[in-house]
Amino acid sequence: TQLLEQSPQFLSIQEGENLTVYCNSSSVFSSLQWYRQEPGEGPVLLVTVVTGGEVKKLKRLTFQFGDARKDSSLHITAAQPGDTGLYLCAGEGRSGGSNYKLTFGKGTLLTVNP
């Protein structure tokens, strides 16, 4: 069974601060995806990282995939209240046979206070 440990689980910061969310596993994933979810809505895909050591930037968000493809981080610079939400990391791997599935971390509930 593949597990993804996501931390921190809760984070409350002031507008303008920086933050980093971590996802760690002992398993290797073929890809890792980061999502943001708002209450009552489905998760929205932010980025997919595939190559070990890969770094992707999305405005103030920087995503990194570990060299061994077992861990990933999300760094937000100068957080804004609009960044508030549940951030989920998810690694894709085989679930048996030809099936693939996403293994989700527990999520990080981020609150950015004005």
Partner 1 sequence: GAVVSQHPSWVICKSGTSVKIECRSLDFQATTMFWYRQFPKQSLMLMATSNEGSKATYEQGVEKDKFLINHASLTLSTLTVTSAHPEDSSFYICSARLAGSGGYEQYFGPGTRLTVT
Site string for partner 1, 75-94 (x = CB under 8 A): -----------x-x-x-x--
- Of 5 and 15, the one with the shorter C-beta distance to partner 1 is 5
* Single residue of 21, 25, 35, 36 touching partner 1 by CB under 8 A: 35
Size of the site for partner 1 (CB under 8 A): 28
**What does each C-alpha distance from 3 to 17, 24, 70, 106 come to in angstroms?**
30, 8, 10, 10
CB of 83 to partner 1, least distance (A): 17
Residue (35 or 76) nearer to partner 1, CB: 35
List the one residue from 66, 85, 91, 107 that touches partner 1 (CB under 8 A): 107
Q: How many CB atoms lie within 10 A of CB 91?
A: 27
Under the rule (CB under 8 A), what is the footprint of partner 1?
30-31, 33, 35, 40-45, 48-50, 86, 88, 90, 92, 95-96, 99-102, 104-107, 109
